[in-house]
Structure 1
Amino acid sequence: MSPITYLLAALVALAPFTTAEKLLESTSLNPCIANSKFSATLFNVLFTPNNGTLAFTINGVSAISGNVTAQIDVIAYGLNIYSTVIKPCDNKDFAGLCPMNTGPIDLKSNTVIPQSTVEQIPVIAFSIPDLDGKVQVYINDTDTGAVLACVEAELSNGKSVYQKAVGWVTAIIAGIGLVTSAITSGLGHTNTAAHVAANALSLFGYFQAQAFIGMCAVPLPPIVASWTQNFAWSMGIIRVAFLQQMATWYQRSTGGTPSSFLSSLATTSVAVQKRSLDYLEQAYQTLVKRSNNQNTNAETLQVVTIRGIERVGFRANIEITNIFFTGYTFFIIFVLFVVLAVAIFKFVCEGLVRSGKMKSDKFLDFRNGWKTVLKGILFRIVLIGFPQMVVICFWELTVRDSPAEVVLAIATIVVMLSILAWAALKVWRIAQRSIAMHKNPAYILYSDPVALNKWGFLYVQFRATAYYFVVPILLYILVKGMFIGLAQKSGVTQAVSLVIIEAASLIALSVMRPYMDKKTNGFNIAIAAVNFLGAIFLLVFSNVFNQPGIVTGVMGVIFFIFNAVFALILLLMVLIASVYALSSKNPDTRYQPMRDDRGSFIKSQTQLNVGAELDALGATARGDKGSRILNNGFGSQKARSTIDDDDSSFESEVPSGMQSGNLHPPNGGGHYRDNSYSSQYGQSPTQSSTFMPAAGYNGAPAPGSRNGGGGGYRPPQSASPWQRGAGYE
């Protein structure tokens, strides 16, 4: 099979349909004029063209009396494709409306439509998923012709691109990419790990961008709303029954008033909810709130409209007041799951090594410094969850579900902003010191394990000279998320702002090209281009141009097609890269070495042990001095360059009893020479254009130093000073 055949087959798999039978149905009836004198509490219509049968059940309330006529218009994608006039007094199926009386109305019918009428319905009405069609019925006075009521019913052909399987597949492949990068990094393939992780994170960001579009308060075409709903999981909007009960309890116990829209819908339109959750949004538009005495007057009916974040939450079958708590809880669950998974993997590896089922050099760096690796992973999770938390936390400030949830939202966004801002500041300071000392930011950013383990998650995906680009990325996410969360009352404002933001992002990426290589730059520029195109479509959907309905309908279909194809391509790229990384003996051969020479600064323990003597000779030739070595607290030695002069803000890197002025090895051997990069310690390392770690980094004193010779202390061969991985997983 050709690649195009695979592509088309996968595209079909991305958009499964709920049924192969041709049908048109509607489960809601909305008023389309002010002061309409007819409303329905239950509305079910089903038309099957194969046998031409039209079955409907209508329970409604009327304030109309007298003889009427009904004008019916069928509209698809903004075009009026069918129109007819029905006179109830001339049609036995509507004899109950001749004449029409005030009060409750119950209608049931099962009629056969003439084949000539069926043939007038376009084929696309039965084939395109999430049909953008509706039926409008104008009830006119027979004598005067005045419009007494207008109702419209949304049509569905039973096919939708919103499928839970799509969400599961996209989430699993994105997760595979992140897990693969962690495994390959542990195996020593740092170049592969960096590429796979960068692409997986960019893919995850694209999914969040699609969810952002669905969260905008813009009247989206049905196919667009359904497509973007597939990515609601990336924002933590996932329904779990017990979690909804917990959210309701928490809100009540903290002074809030939970909504009960789903339960009200069940009591007023039970048949609709039992059929399919796909129709909840349409049914919710005609949600009926009855008075305590169950009056049947038309004036007691109330139409409720949902949009934006509320629409996404409701389609996920989540009460509107539970959306924030659900998203927040899933973020916390994700953090705890990762911590548990890393801890379990650590002890499994140790058990396999002790039992002899795994070589002792496998995942050696991870096993020696798994706590440091875990810290870097947690920092990266904060970065992944930042877009989600920005949106729901700022949105919570506008809806205020309960005082406790408002406080929780404020505290969460302040903490996350503080963590990421502090990390970005540390990266900038480290890079500036490296530039001042070595004329190259990559030297300390990649050669110092403290810097790489703590802050590598912010800069490893960029080239060394673009280490600062994480700041524009964070500002981009923050501003975009604030518009989504705070401007839910104005869809036009959101659409215009997203066009400006996405255009600025695309221009910046295209001009600066900050990522590590051409392929990664192309990957991210393509995502930025698609996001910008999606923002333009969103602006059109907001109806700011007052375009014909057919334009909106067609652009909705186009939006789905190009995003489905693009998402499929990205998924295949990440999946293929992950499979190759896990199956190849040396996956690094697939990627060219970085031009910033970061590979020269990241060495595995095996490389260091084999080439210790050669490194020492190289250090002598370059005139490098030994670097001071500190014990990192879990059995391995760590090179320090005193760049992290305020480490105490997170943790102390120097164990007690080890003072900077009197450094001794753990076994009481020869003294280490304190040769950090401070002017008070004398000459700085070489500042040539090509930098290699000094011999002191691998534990072997440089020849000619005070500790040179056989009496000097040498760290154990099994311990690694390069606790890699935190910057990649």
Structure 2
Amino acid sequence: MARFASASWATALVSCLAIINTIIPSVAAQDTRTISGTNADGVTQTLLVDRTPALFTGDFGDCMGGNSLMNITSFDAAYYADNMTVLFNLAGTSNLLNQSLMLHISVQAYGEDRFDFLWNPCNANFASLCPLNASVPIFGQASIPVSTQDVSAIPNIALAIPDFEGSAVLRLFSNSSQTQIACFNAVMRNGASFSHPAAVGSALGVFTLFALIASFFTAIYGVSVPHIRTHYAHSLSVLVIFEVFHSIFFSGALSLSFPSVLPAFWSNFAWSAGMIYTDSIIKSLNGFTGISGNSSQVGGAGSVTLSTSGGLTQQIYGRSISGTAGSALVERGEELASHIYKRAINETENAKLYDWAGVPVSPGLPLPGDWTGFPGTLAQVDIPAADAFMVGFLWLLILIAILVGAVVAFKWILEGLSAIKFIKQDRLALFRSHWLGFLGLVVLRTLFIAFFMIMTLCLYQFSYGGKAGPIAIAAIVFLIFFVGTLGVSAYACFYRAKFSKLDNAPARVEQPQRKKKSKWYRSAKSSSTDDGSKSGSEGSLFGLNFLGRDAEKESVHDDTNYSKRFGWLTARYRRSRWWFFAFWVVYQFVRACFVGGARGSPMAQVIGLFAWELISFAVIVKINPFEGSRNTALAVWMLGISKVATAGLSIAFLPNFKVARIPTTVIGVIIIVIQGFLVIGVLILMVLGFISSYMSVMRNREEFRPKGLANVRLKYFGHLEQKATGLPPPPPPEPEEPKEPYFSVKTVRRAPKIEDEDVDDFVPDMEDQHPTVSQFSFNNRTSRANSLANSTRSHGSVYGNVPYGARVHRASWSSREFQNFNPDELRRGDSPLETPPRVSSAHHTANNSVSRTPLMRPVRSQSSLRQATNSPPQGR
């Protein structure tokens, strides 16, 4: 992004800042609600007085750390592009007596000073600062028109980009000591922002609430525990949903200099980590955590009047006004101040005159415009970093109380509905008979989900320091969560191993037994049962497989007793990856150590976190723990890629690399896009989870509505049954090859004809069983003649009506060829030539089912269409 202001624009803006306390003529004669204004394009229009300006300042604070010798209650500046004016407002008090001042104004945007100058308030007719006197309150407004040339260099992107990164700084110097006595900083905004915690956070909270309800109903509906677990495993995990939100929000806990767009975007997810601002809680915790101050003003001026006759001893912060450079700046300030118009002020007006105006920052918050580390992220939701742990822990306790109350209320509502016969007596019988157990599991599951959040906040409190009270509470909570969560995870694995065989690995590899060595030297990587049959592994944990002793113990999900005890840890994982919760706890704890504990070492923090996320992502992809497809897509792939990409891109924010603020903002926008797609994916999977959970709860209904999803419901249930087995899905059927046109003749059978009954046409079999080529050469002229004669008689008797010269259909071979067939072929059961050669015509007629005559009478091949005569064959 190019510099948003040229010298002319900077000159106009700084001159307006230089006469903040100048009074301009009254505009009482004008309409107090609307004014007429002309923009840079020359368009004149009627404008509202209380409209939002194109660029304006927000909250402001003391950039001397509360040591300024002035108290400011209002510090506002705005640029109106629709009527080409700049407006300023300043109000406050001081305890200095008769002190002449010089004011230094600077405008910064994206890490660069756009313009700065010094000016004397006396030359601008600012009475309340000329000289500064404790008896005169500081109050004034300034408005200056600017020309098109002054603002021509302002790019449109500066007025539209979300979370514009800029600030206006006002510094006051004492002429007697030439030292800085006050400094105030106001963040600049343009009205566009990624930060909408009230709207976005509320919408995400509603979706999460419905996901929680859907998950709860899939966990309590049904009679068979293994069947309930199967449907529960495929509902969208609330643990994964909160892990998505936590990973986004706690990205701002790294000790890096973030661009303004990132903390603004992350503030939408602060509620998921318990960072919810309420005035009563914050005020109650400030005294406990050691935060004090007045939230209605900024500055360090006390009630005791200070004497400045001998000069100030405050540490110099800034630069002296002496020298050539200071004189030039003063001259330039006086020239700009001469264009200011004064007006009377109404001292009864409120210090905050506009809706868009900022307010003094609350005690404990960083200076506006500082988005470094976790304090800068928390400042977006007005929570001091010193209160972060206590606020998160209190809201966790409130959440647990709400969930407990909701479960108890739901149980007794069911009992009431059952008593009045509104529902069946056995409706949700498992939950109603074991509701105390479900209540305990709800609390344990909530604490398990909050493990990473609490570990991060506790470790951050240790590294941040503060009073002994919050640190002591953080230490107690840390021990409870750390020992409790790791202890329960270890006990769950031990409990499963106690009732199972322990095997090393899945393949059998034996080492040769050496002499004088014990038999335990041999190692086997596959186990077999006592009867010698091979047993499949059920699951493995760090190279160890847990094998059931009987059929009921072969699957952890079929063990009803284990599911009732530890199903809140194992239910969503595959039967061979039921132990993944132990890996998850270790992964989250190490991650919390980097995010919350390594606050003082940014380089080690961000690079170590990136390496850990990259390794963990590869391991989790290899393990592929979740049984449900949606949980796998979200927790393994989408969330893993987002974590790795965010940690890798955050390396550019390290102060050591000194990346410019404009490229930093571009990288921040890329991170927002990545995490934004992740959130969109979560919302889509939530909606799909609502539908699948509805199908699971309605699985016992014969009629399912809407009917359009009936087939989808059946396929979904089949998918659940197949996934519960832990086996890969069957391979799809191979596609059939397209059939091509073809023609083939396997057998030919000729039906008996009338001409076959002629005894004279019958030719006896020959004795030769091994025909040769010479037997098919037709050298015997007599045979050919006889064959031709018989063929002629047959044509004359059977086909007498055929015209002369016409050729009737016949085979292309003669009966002579049949005489050369192998006798073995003739003796086949299905051959009509099996019978003796000489049979009577009567016998043939009586037994016509099997023809005892040759299939074809001898016919001479003819090459002409003219019928052959009975003349004797001619010599060759």
TM-score normalized by structure 1? 0.65
Amino acid at match of 1:293: V
2:204 is the counterpart of 1:170: yes
In 1, Cα distance between equivalents of 2:187 and 2:241: 34
Which of 212, 218, 241 lines up with 2:250 in the alignment? Answer: 212
The DSSP-based 3-state class of the residue aligned with 2:235 is helix
Correspondent of 2:264 among 188, 206, 226: 226
State yes or no: 1:109 paired with 2:109.
no
Equivalent residues of 1:194, 1:460 under 8 A apart: yes
Report deviation, 1:224.
0.7
Alpha-carbon distance between aligned partners in 2 of 1:499 and 1:312, rounded to the nearest angstrom: 20
SS of corresponding position for 2:450 = helix
For the residues of structure 2 that align with 1:482 and 1:184, how far apart are their CA atoms? 35
Q: Which residue number in structure 2 is paired with residue 187 of structure 1?
A: 221
Q: Deviations over 1:521-548 (max 9, x none)?
A: 2222211111121112322223332112
Return the alpha-carbon distance in structure 1 between the equivalents of residues 474 and 60 of structure 2: 36
Per the alignment, residue 201 of structure 1 pairs with 239
Once the 2 structures are TM-superposed, how far is the Cα of residue 551 of structure 1 from its aligned partner?
Answer: 0.7
Q: Find the aligned partners of 1:509 and 1:88 in 2 and give their Cα distance.
A: 65
Pick from 557, 576, 593: which aligns with 2:720? Answer: 593
- Within the alignment, does 1:488 sit opposite 2:488 as a pair? no
Report the CA distance between 1:45 and its aligned residue.
0.8
> 2:531 aligned with 1:501, yes or no?
no
Corresponding residue of 1:536: 648
Match for residue 641 of structure 1? none
Q: After the TM superposition, which residues 604-615 of structure 1 pair with which residues of structure 2 at under 5 Å, given as runs?
A: none
| Bigger relative contact order, structure 1 or 2 (CA pairs below 8 A, ≥6 apart) | 1
Q: Which moved more, 1:564-573 or 1:441-450?
A: 441-450
Q: Which amino acid aligns with 2:441?
A: G
Equivalent residue, structure 1, for 2:341: none
Q: CA deviation at 1:66?
A: 9.6
Unaligned runs of 5+ in 2: 1-50, 223-227, 318-362, 367-371, 503-528, 530-534, 540-552, 700-712, 728-876
> How far apart, in 2, do the equivalents of 1:599 and 1:468 lie?
15
Distance in 2 of aligned mates of 1:290 and 1:65: 14
CA shift digits 1:439-470 (9 cap, x unpaired): 42473522222311221222222222222222
TM-fit CA distance, 1:38 = 11
Alpha-carbon shift at residue 194 of structure 1 (Å): 1.8
CA apart distance, 1:204: 0.9
1:46 aligned partner: 78
> Which amino acid in 1 is paired with 2:661?
G
Aligned counterparts of 1:300 and 1:314: Cα–Cα separation in 2: 29
- Quickly say closer, same or farther: Cα 1:98–1:448, change in 2 above 3 A: closer
Q: Between 110-119 and 523-532, report the one with greater CA deviation.
A: 110-119
**Paired amino acid for 1:167:** G
Q: How far apart are the structure 1 equivalents of 2:98 and 2:304?
A: 22
Pick closer, same or farther for the CA change 1:108–1:20 going to 2, 3 Å. Answer: closer
Deviations 1:573-605 (A, max 9, x none): 2133214422674457436236663599xxxxx
Equivalent in the alignment of 2:673: 561
Is 1:552 paired with 2:552? no
Amino acid at match of 2:398: I
Percent of aligned positions that are identical? 19
Q: Aligned match of 1:325 in 390, 395, 420?
A: 390
Residue 150 of structure 1, CA deviation: 9.2
Worse overlay, 60-69 or 466-475: 60-69
Q: Which residue of 2 aligns with 1:392?
A: 457
The one-character-per-residue Cα deviations of 1:327-367 (angstroms, maximum 9, x if unpaired) are: 21211122222222112211211222222211233212211
CA distance in 1, matches of 2:580, 2:602: 30
The answer to whether the 8 A contact 1:430-1:444 is kept is no
How far 1:173 moved relative to its partner?
Answer: 1.4
Task: Report what 1:128 is aligned to.
Answer: 161
1:59-117 Cα deviation digits (max 9, x unpaired):
68899999989785553x4577x65878779x97x454999878787663111121233
Alignment match, 2:484: 419
* Cα offset, 1:225, TM superposition: 0.8
Deviation, 1:217, is 2.8
Contact 1:68 1:100 in 2 (8 A): no
Q: Distance in 2 between matches of 1:124 and 1:227?
A: 19
In 2, are the aligned partners of 1:37 and 1:63 still within 8 Å (CA)? no
Give the Cα–Cα distance (whole angstroms) in 2 for the partners of residues 299 and 108 of structure 1: 31
Q: Say which SS state the counterpart of residue 265 (structure 1) adopts.
A: coil
1:355-411 deviations in Å (ceiling 9; x for gaps): 221123321221122222222222211111111211222233345555454333222
Q: Does 1:161 align with 2:194?
A: yes
On the 8 A contact 2:105/2:168 being kept in 1, the answer is no
3-state SS in 1 of match to 2:619 = helix
Distance 2:211 2:270 in 1: 19
Aligned to 1:282: none
Q: 2:381 corresponds to which letter in structure 1?
A: A
The one-letter code matched in structure 2 to 1:534 is T
Q: Deviations over 1:103-138 (max 9, x none)?
A: 787663111121233332111222222111235689
Alpha-carbon distance in 1 for matches of 2:184, 2:602? 25
CA 1:531–1:296 in 2, change beyond 3 Å: closer, same or farther?
Answer: farther
2:566 is matched with 455
| Aligned residues of 2:234 and 2:630 also touching (Cα < 8 A) | no
2:684 maps to which residue?
A: 572
Q: Distance in 1 between matches of 2:410 and 2:151?
A: 62
Shift of 1:174: 1.7
Match of 1:293 in 2: 304
Write out aligned runs for 1:85-104 (5 A): 94=124, 96=126
Mapping for residues 718-729 of structure 1, pairs under 5 Å: none
Letter in 1 for 2:301: R
**SS of the residue 2:300 aligns to:** coil
Distance 1:502 1:346, change over 3 A: same
Q: 2:807 corresponds to which residue?
A: none
Structure 2 residue identity aligned to 1:565? F
SS in 2 for 1:44: strand
How far does residue 514 in structure 1 lie from its aligned partner after superposition? 2.2
For residue 593 of structure 1, give the secondary structure of its aligned residue in structure 2.
helix
Structure index of larger Rg: 2
1:346 aligns with 2:411: yes
Q: Alignment partner of 1:467: what SS?
A: coil
Within the candidate set 352, 372, 377, 2:437 is matched to 372
Assess, with a 3 A threshold, how the Cα gap between structure 1 residues 43 and 464 changes in structure 2: closer, same or farther: same
Indicate whether 1:260 and 2:292 are aligned.
yes
Distance 1:291 1:86, change over 3 A: closer
Deviation at 1:201, TM superposition (A): 1.9
Structure 1, residues 133-152: CA drift from partner, whole Å, max 9, x if none?
A: 2356899999xxx9999986
Aligned-partner residue type, residue 158 of structure 2: A
RMSD: 4.2
The residue that corresponds to 2:586 in the other structure is 475
Query: Would you say the 8 A contact 2:158–2:164 is kept in 1?
Result: yes
Distance 1:440 1:30 in 2: 64
How has the CA–CA distance of structure 1 residues 85 and 258 changed in structure 2, closer, same or farther, with 3 Å as cutoff?
closer
Work out the CA distance in 1 between the residues paired with 2:106 and 2:462. Answer: 44
Cα distance in 1 between the residues matched to 2:388 and 2:64: 30
Secondary structure at 1:418 match in 2: helix
CA distance in 2 between partners of 1:296 and 1:110 (Å):
34
Corresponding residue for 2:18? none
The separation in 2 between residues aligned to 1:32 and 1:497, in whole angstroms, is 34
User: Hey, what's the Cα distance between the residues in 2 that align with 1:352 and 1:326?
Assistant: 38
* Residues 98 and 118 of structure 1, relative CA distance in 2, 3 Å threshold: farther
Does residue 55 (structure 1) correspond to residue 87 (structure 2)? The answer is yes
Of the structure 1 ranges 227-236 and 436-445, higher mean CA displacement relative to structure 2 is found in 436-445
